[in-house]
A and B are shown apart, each in its own frame.
Chain A
Amino acid sequence: EVQLVESGGGLVQPGRSLRLSCAASGFTFDDYAMHWVRQAPGKGLEWVSGISWNSGGIDYADSVKGRFTISRDNAKNSLYLQMNSLRAEDTALYHCAKDEEVAGTWGNAFDIWGQGTMVTVSS
């Protein structure tokens, strides 16, 4: 079964850090770009960051650039998001998502989504 399972969310104070993980199974992880997409409570979807299959291509939304770092470990079939200098506006459910295209980067659909891990930034 193709599956993405996120972990690492929680309650954190403003200015602190958190590291999210996403464990992939059921497909050849190192063939595909991966993404993080977040959804604030009661709000819509926001693309956060993406990483190419070999980590050669990485990009971020302006809202997180300079604070968040995406990475992957293909040997462990895992995707990560290091979140530093967290703000209240980063409070959201964070989903990892698989790119639809082999060796894709930008502009493709996301065909597999995890259920998400909740990050709450509050003092």
Chain B
Amino acid sequence: QSVLTQPPSVSGAPGQRVTISCSGSSSNIEAGYDVHWYQQLPGTAPRLLISGDNNRPSGVPDRFSGSKSGASASLAITGLQAEDEADYYCQSYDSSLSGWAVFGGGTKLTVL
């Protein structure tokens, strides 16, 4: 059970906007530690989508955006496309745990 909680699944139709939440606590997200987001297409390695809460690495479409408020963070995807169907993971740091990183449990995005 991860300290970062994500919904197991979300879905949306092509063209729609979806959000994926990442809920934490006072020892991780609420403490101000950065939240990062990854996309993992079936059978591939994770790809960095958003770093430092809301920064898109080069090559990531601006349809993807990140935000953070309080103890939660969100990944928003606008103009949903079939190729966005993948697993999405949030990542942060937790000061109450040993280790340099914690991941959320992951969210499966289905494009209807």
Residues of A within 8 A of B (CB): 35, 37, 44-47, 50, 59-62, 65, 95, 100, 105-111, 113-116
Contacts and interface: CB of A to CB of B under 8 A. Distances in A.
A45 B103 contact: yes
A89 to B, nearest CB: 15
A40 to B, nearest CB: 12
Interface of B: 2, 33-34, 36, 38, 40, 44-48, 51-52, 57, 87, 89, 91-93, 97-106
A62 B93 CA distance: 15
B92 A111 contact: no
Contact of B101 (A50, A114, A115, A116): A50
B99 A107 contact: no
A44 B106 contact: yes
Nearest to A95: B45
Contact of B100 (A44, A45, A107, A114): A107
B103 A44 contact: yes
Given A44-B106, A95-B45, A116-B45, A105 B100 contact: yes
